[in-house]
Every structure is written in structure tokens, then in C-alpha cells.
Structure 1
Amino acid sequence: MIRVADILAAGTWEGNPSDTITLDREDRHRRRAVLTGSGGTAFLLDQPNAVHLHHGDGLELEDGRIIEVVGASEDLVEIEADDMGHLVKIAWHLGNRHLPTQLMGQTLRIRRDHVIEDLVVRLGGKLT
């Protein structure tokens, strides 16, 4: 099986990719995985340490072809609170659970998860 020889950061490579691979956030954090692009290209990602792939990165295969990484669309929830104190408390609980959280100034953003959404509501958060 052909292997990934190099990971090229988004914006550092040119040309058209030979294939694309669409991955959600969890699937973009890998050390080793057999992947198949949307066009059928099967390849092996095998890194010494786990890497976080970003939307637009290029996976350069041993033969020079480039597979473009596409971030999958994911359902998100925006969290608001009555005041910054409550928002910080909610952020602490999310961080304590090691949940990826986007800090947006007066709001927080997380991936949809009904269990966490229920926790946030019980902590006084408002969901959108």
C-alpha cells in the first residue's frame, strides 16, 4: 500500500490534488490509519506521533501525488450565558471534560452532543 511521505500545510502546496479525503475533527487527529479518498485512492498514514490534519492540508504520497484534506461539515452548538461568570463556569466544565471548545468572546462553540447540551442547560447556558 502506498504511504504518505509528507504532510504539506494548507497554503504551502500548489496544483490540483489527485484525490480528496473528507474527515471530521476526530478523524483528522491520527497517527496511523488506512484511508481511502473520495476518488478511490487507498493509502496509509503512518506517523511516529499523532498529527492533527487541517482543512486544506496536502498529503503527499510516495509517488508525488497529493491528497487534499477536507474538513467535514459538523453540527455545532453555540452557548450563551447571562453573564461572563456563568460562561466561564460552563467553559471550565467543558474543559474539565477535555472537549474541544471554540471561544468566541461572549459565546462558546462546541460539537453537538445531547449529553453535554443537557449539562450546559443545567449550568444555566442557552443553546443555539
Structure 2
Amino acid sequence: MFFLIGKAAVTAQANASATLDFDIRLKSRARIQLDDGREAGLALERGGDLLSDDSGELVVRIQSAPELVSIVLCGDAHKLVVACYHLGNRHVPLQIEPGRVAYLHDHVLDEMLIGLGLIVGREQAPFEPVSGAYETASHHSHPHHSH
């Protein structure tokens, strides 16, 4: 069975889930597989983690799949800001937390940050980058740049 799903009402309770990597979660149209094996099609606006079919009977929670991410841990706030500056200048989506920055693994970016004196590690983890300012502003949109 194939479902076409889009944004769900905020009050809905999920009765299915789909664990998706970051690239798929960015798309507004995609063919996906629910965690229970059923196939579904996404047709949605960007953002949100609850989706439903037209009937409202199927409510799907979108979850972040573990992916290979590069992790920069640093107690020096200035070095971490410099790292974020250089990564942001390359339009790299970043997961920014106190003392830590993560991005989808890229050995070229790893080498650049190591060259700046930072220590870069890798791990399999869900990737939840910070939303861009244009994504949170309801009156303005900005296209996603893929690199």
C-alpha cells in the first residue's frame, strides 16, 4: 500500500514512524519507507515532524536516522566560532550545541578544521542541524543550496 502524506495537525498522535536521514528530511517530495515497511510518498512544506494521509487515519512521526557525522568538541569558544564561520561560509548545515559542533561527515572539511587547530572526531548519530533564519521567518523563503 502506498500513502501520500503531508503535514499533520499539531494535536495528532503518531501511529507510525519513519526514520530518515537528513537529505531525505530536507525534501518536500520523496518516496519513503515507513519503519513498519509500508511505502509512502511525502508531499509537504518544509519543517515539522508529524505527517498524515488525507484521511487523517495514518499519522507518521518523522525521526532522524543515525548518520556518519563529524564532531568538533572544543572548550575554547573562540575556536568553535571560527570553525562555525568557516563551515557556514561553505553553506554546511551545522548542529551547534555548547562546546560542540557537528556536520555530515566530509573528510575535506575535517582536514580544514584540523588545520585550524581543532580536534575532529566521527560518530554515527542522528543529525539535527540548526534551522536557518530564512526557514524560521514565515514571510521569507530561501532556497536550500546543495554542495
Q: Taking structure 2 as the reference length, what is the TM-score of the superposition?
A: 0.66
- Look up the match of 2:130: none
- Look up the match of 1:13: 12
- The one of 111, 116, 122 aligned to 2:115: 122
Structure index of larger Rg: 1
Moved more, 96-105 or 80-89: 80-89
Q: Give me the CA root mean square deviation.
A: 2.4
- Check whether the contact 1:81–1:124 (CA below 8 A) recurs between aligned residues: no
- The one of 100, 105, 109 aligned to 1:107: 100
- Unpaired segments ≥5 residues, structure 1: none
> CA deviation digits over 1:28-84, x for unaligned, max 9?
11111122213232222223x4x134xxx3221123212221210123333145843
Could you say if the C-alpha distance between residues 103 and 61 of structure 1 is closer, same or farther in structure 2, counting changes exceeding 3 Å?
same
Count of residue correspondences: 119
The amino acid across from 1:58 in the alignment is L
- Unpaired segments ≥5 residues, structure 2: 122-147
- C-alpha separation between the residues in 1 aligned to 2:39 and 2:8? 16
- Check whether the contact 1:30–1:52 (CA below 8 A) recurs between aligned residues: no
- Look up the match of 1:25: 22
- Check whether the contact 1:4–1:46 (CA below 8 A) recurs between aligned residues: yes
- Check whether the contact 2:74–2:80 (CA below 8 A) recurs between aligned residues: yes
> CA deviation digits over 1:67-104, x for unaligned, max 9?
22121012333314584333222111100111122222
Identity %: 24
Could you say if the C-alpha distance between residues 32 and 82 of structure 1 is closer, same or farther in structure 2, counting changes exceeding 3 Å?
closer
- The one of 95, 106, 124 aligned to 2:88: 95
- Look up the match of 2:62: 69
The amino acid across from 1:7 in the alignment is A
- Look up the match of 1:52: 47
Q: Taking structure 1 as the reference length, what is the TM-score of the superposition?
A: 0.74
The amino acid across from 2:53 in the alignment is L
